[in-house]
Structure formats: structure tokens, C-alpha cells
Structure 1
């Protein structure tokens, strides 16, 4: 009985132990699988961290290289392109490292960034790069270096002239602001070619009888354009800021003559210390006559005087008690007149002043400056530096300029008998120019 009663107990123990072993085996198998998964994740995370560390090291090296080149003016654009290129590549590799893994990288060529054409591509990618969130694993210094090029390019996309040294401001074409018309039409706000014979100059016997006569109907220069610029300060050598046409005429005389009349628009002051302020520049453009060297009406003495004027020669001037040396350019003389005085609404005192000083010539010295270019000679006539009386009379007449037809000419004053009669250097008419119709232009 005892033996028979003990056998079932042993079998039950064996069954129980086998069941426990089986359960333990299954548990151990699941534990091993879980352990292998953890190890695989640790290895993959370590690889990713190693890849990130490698990319961060490359980024720091590139930033150091770009910082070194930042102070190089000749490679400023290239350094900005390099910074933007690495910021795009590193941003993608950091934000998608868990998805693409170690063996899948975004190639630089996939972004369309070319070595010699980086600014157009970067300007289109700058906003997209800035919208991506920065990786939390990156230090703040790297995030700052990544955002700096994108900020500059975003600002530059609004006005590339602020950042691109290759951008050049567009210059206005010389003579494009005031249109031309026939002198018979006299269209307001235009200019016209006028006959040189309409001006009175010193006659051949002026040294004896002091009489003036109408000039010969020929000039050395003829007009081809006019401009009017308003500015907060007077502008010297205005030919630098306009497109001068390419005119080449053989000879020693520049083919283009530019006259820049600087007129103040601020009140005249008796105790004036500074001769500058808001004003306008009436710019007149003249072209050398095609028959200049062959024109029989232009004597050789007059052409010689023009050469002395252009070459800034000097001459001896007789005086008491000693002679002096003076620049030949001090002989330049302004001829101006209002052609339609009878049609102007003037009071009796104003009419007397107009009849007295109209067509009164005046030497441009010392309120003139000369500037030479490749194919032009510019003469700046500074009305800002005129005397107080002349400035005051001109100031009271400014509002009537839009009603006047102004005839303007230049000549070279003759001092000797062989230099007479005087001849016209250039001449033009301005038809009722209203400066209020023009905008301020900053040079």
C-alpha cells in the first residue's frame, strides 16, 4: 500500500517540476529577447550619437573657417554661402536622424546649391530653413551661428543693394527729365534750341565806342538735353550721377559741355555763414558742333580761347602798380534774359528792375567750378554764393519762373581787339519751367 501510494506523488512532483522548468525556460527566452532588443537600441542610439557628434564637429570646424573668412572682404559672399550650406545639411541630419539612420544622408546636390551661384538659391531656401525647429542637442552658440546667415539673407531679399557689392544704383539718362520742343510752340516745361544771334555781345569796335551788337548766328556747342534735380544740399560735379552719352569727336576739345546751375530755395540772409542748403540743379547739356574745326564763322582766335578755357591756362593781366596772373577761366561770362517780359504780371517797380537788369551780362567768377571727365567738361555756376542783393532779387522772382521763357548763353569775354567781336559758346531756351513738378532726388 505504501509503495503504491508513493508513486503517484513522485509523478506529480515530476510533472510539477517539468512545468516549472518549462515556464522558467519561456521566461528566460523572453528575457533574453528583451535584453537583445535593449542592447540593439543602445547600439543604435550610440551610433546616432556618434553620428551627431561627428556632424557637430564638422559644423564647428566649418564655423571656425567661416569666422576666419568673415573679415575677408573679398570672400564675404562665399563665407555666407558656406554657412548657409552647412546649416541646411546639419539641420536635416539632426531633425531626421531617427528616420534615415546612419547609411542614408541627404546629399548637398539635392538642395540645388551651386558653387558659383549661391545667392539666388539661398534667398529661396532661407525662410524654409528658419521655420524648422532647432535641435535640442545643439548648443546655443551653434543655433545662433545657424540663424545669422538666414536673417541676413531674409533682409537682403528686400533690398539686395544693402548687402551685395555688385549692385549698382541706376543712373538717370542725361537730358531725360525736361522734354524738347520747337521754339515756335513754346510748350510749358520744355527746352528749345535758340539762335545764337538773339544775344547781344561786344562788337568789333567795342574798345572805342562801347557798343554791343547781335552775335553771329553760330555757336561752338548746341543743346541736346536738360534736367532739373531737387536736393537737400547743392550737388557739385553732377555728371557723376547721370549717364553721359558716348559722343566722340576728334580733337582736343571735349565733345560735351555740361552747365550745372545751382539755385537755392531757402531764404537769403545778410549775415550768412554757410552757402548751402535746399535747392535745385538746372543741368544743361551741349554737344560740340560737327563743323567746329571748319566753321568759317568761328574765327581761330575764338577756338584758341576755348582751348585755353578747357586747359585752364593763365594769363597776365595789366594792373596798377603791378601786373598780375589770373586764370583764363575767369573770362567766362553769363548771358541771360527773359524773352516774354511784356507778358508777365509785374508791378511798375518790378518792370523798371527788369528793364534795367534784363540781358545784363555777368562774369561767372568766383562763383564757378570746373570738372573734367572722359568726354565732357562741366561748369558749375553756384548761385548760392551770389551777393545778398542779387540773391534777394532772385528770391522774389522765383515764383514767376514758371511764367518765364528764359534764354541762357555763355561766352568768353574779349579784352583785346583781336578777340572781338565776342562769339557764343552755347545757348538754350527754357520754356516756363516749374520746379514744383519735380521730385527730390538723393545722390
Structure 2
């Protein structure tokens, strides 16, 4: 699956001046976490400690709620190696870098991507404590299709470790680790990665950032932030990490979703991701045949433009909404008028942004797609209005995952109005839970599909081809920060992450997306469902373009889901 990682970073303005044209160092990196949809956190560095920068999110400073902070550092090791050190519970190793959770015991493990851990901490390490403390927390981890590792840590309870005499049960702050490799000079044998630990702090923070003498330095949040510094120093003291690209294959790094044939595998895995308002932070390595000049040219076009307002104004003239955007539909056929009042789903369409338990269809300007010259310069442009019109959404409760919903006699596709539509794309998102759910999106075309277009090849192509091209971009517009980190804002090739089934008949194509086919996706969805009534999420779907004739890419459809209520799902009658 793709992390719906839901990822943020400072929106730094890089003016396109002489500095852009300057020679870019092979080891150049950018700190901002890449994503495919806009997020408006504003990070300010408030302290630096031994090469670790401490940031505060100042975008919501006056809300009166807890503050979001993060510790960030470059570590001289591969992301693989750092990831394994963080997950390792061995006491001998953790004593060398982790002042808080050095004594850990594995209580339970699920699916190779999730575990529950018990730990103790002697009061002498945090002198504010008058007694020994213990804690239980869960860890869930996954690796995105761009190679970034994410670890979610949340306080938990477990029957194997109830409260014990002599210890006070402590609630560990929710936190997230993110680890991603950085580009290094081709002649270098060393590895480098960017490590970030983010958490929410309720009290004590403001005094500490102004004064080194604050009692905050004796708290759990401070001890958590200090883990990044401890990790950096521990790895620096062990030179072998600099050259280690771990050969250990953890289950967390093996996709448990559908795997495509090599015929359709990407030669540039990094290109499965693209920024909502900027290019990727990491560029793919040049091939052995690429000249030094070509390599430098490739590096230059990777310079990032991170300020949202600048990017909008700069790219508005190049958004994917020109007349050629209709090339996927038959331009020789007169468009029909689609009357939304003829189509009704079990989930209501929202009247405004404040409405709840409803859907709307936003524009595609919050997402970035491959531009006309992408194969030459990797340049991406803002998405335009969707090609297909979202006409209805169903929110079903089901006993088990249902394929072929479009064939049901009561389905919109089988109505008289539905049969008159030139083409309908049905996306059935199958959500694992107790009970299970299906979110069904119906997108209509006002003209027949152009058979020779990329969409035409996708609609009538093989399942293997469809798996290699069907993309989804998520973006949580409103919701708990931890859920945002879990879901992400990175594009995902669904057929490579989870099992997709396709049904092509008459005037429709139905895509059944089995989210439960991936243990990672199940874990993330479980977290999302716990907060779903307070979440506003945007989704964009598109077909990935890999050939010049198919560029620029266009967004097929979008949907915004406003604070869904689980209990309003309608039972599906087979």
C-alpha cells in the first residue's frame, strides 16, 4: 500500500534565479518531506543540539491546543540500517542510544508490520519522577513506494501487562519516525539518510525553547526528542553503519499486495511519486551510460519550488486543463448533458464545506501531474478539472467484500439513466473492518472513450496493464495529525500495493480495490476509521503516463469525503 503519508514540511520559497541555474552538488538534499498534496504546516527551527534541529509548527500557535514539534537530523547510514536500529528491542544496543525506552519487551506482533511493546524506566533518569514508571505502546511501520520508512507509535493497553505494584503507568506521547535515504555522490561508498521524529506536546514546551534550565528536560517528550540525537551519536560511533546497506529482509519491507510483472515495472521507482506543489525531494540515480553533463542537467531540474502561493501563481499557466485534456474522450462526438439529479447514492452530496457525512468533488489543482515535457525534464504541472464527473457515491455496510456491484439490479449503472451514459468508471474501495464497508464512487463521461487514448487502453486493456497504471493520491485536509502522517500525501500505484479486480462490461469499468489484501493498508485504515468522523479527505485518481504521446497526465476524477459517520452506512442487499 502507499502510505496515505500525509507528509509535511516547511514551504520554503525558492525564487527561480541564478541560484537555480548554478551547479547543483551531487550530495544536495532538501529537508522538506515530499508529498503529492498541499499541507499548510509551517515549521520554525527553535533549537539546535549536536547536529539535531528541533522544529515547532507555528501555523496553529494560537489554537490553545498542544504544539506539534519534530527533531530532524542527517545520519551517516542507510535508511534500511537506521530503520532496523529503531525497531530493534535488544537491551544492549538500546542502552547505547535510547535514554527512555532502553528496557523493552515484545508483548505481541501482528502481520509483520505491527507490534505491542512493554517498557520500564528507572526514575533516576528523569528526576521529576518520584517512582519507577512503565508504559505500553504499539508500533506500526511500513515502507512507501519511494523507499521512505514510517513508524507510528501510540500508547496502548495489553492484557499481558496490567498495572504492577511499584510502578506508575505512563502514557507515551503519540509520535512518528520517518527515515529516507539521501542522494550521495556516485563515487562515494557511504550512505546518508534524513531522520525525523515528530510528536505532540501539551505543556512545558514554551518555557524550554526560551530557557535551557526548564524542567521540560526531565519529561518524556524531551526524552523522545533526544532519541534522534542519541541515534545520531550511536551510529557515528560505529563506522560500519556508514557502509552498511542491510541485507536483512524484514517482512515490513516486502510488499504483501499484488505484484506486477516485470513487463510493467517502473524503471524509476521514485517516479511513482510527485509533489502536489513541487517535484520529488529525491531524484533517481543516473544510469551507467549517462554522461556527467546529462547527470548535472537532471539534477538541476530537480530543484524544488516549495512555496505554495508562488507555485500556484507560477504554474497556473501550465496546469493540465488545456483543450488537449479531452484527448481521452472522443472529440468527434457531441457531449451530452449529465443531469446529477437523475443519480442518487446512499451518501448525500454536501451543500457546503461545513456539511458533514457527505461528499463533494473538488478541482484537481491541489495535485501535481506529469507535464508535457516530463520525459525530458521531469517537470510536473498542476492538475486541472477532472475529465470524468463524479455523479454519485454509495456508502455500504457488507458482511464480506463484494465484487461486481455494478451488476446489481439496483445499482446506478443498471438504471435507465445510467445505461444512457457514454461511459461510467466505478471505483469500489473495499474497507476491511467489523463489519466490512464499501465506498463506491461513480464517475461519468459525457462522451465515449477515445479507444486509442491512454484511458481507452486502460479501460479495454489487460489487468496487468491496469495494475501498472492506476494511481490514487490521498490528502487529509482536516484531521488529527497522527492520521495525516499515517495516510500521507503520496501517490500510490494501487495495483502494486493491494489487489485490484476489474470488471469491464457494456458502458462501464468497475475497479474493486481490496484494501484488506495488504496488512499494512489494513492497519492504516483501522487508524483512520477511529477518527473518521473528524476527517476531511480528498482523493484523486488518474492513469499514469509513461510515454510522450500520453503526456501530459490528466486527473480522471476527485472526491472529497467530509466527516463520514460509520453508522450511516447502508446494508448492501445482495
Which TM-score bucket, shorter chain as reference? 0.3 to 0.5
Q: Higher strand share goes to which structure? A: 2
Instruction: Name which one, 1 or 2, has greater alpha-carbon Rg.
Output: 1
TM, length-normalised to structure 1: 0.46
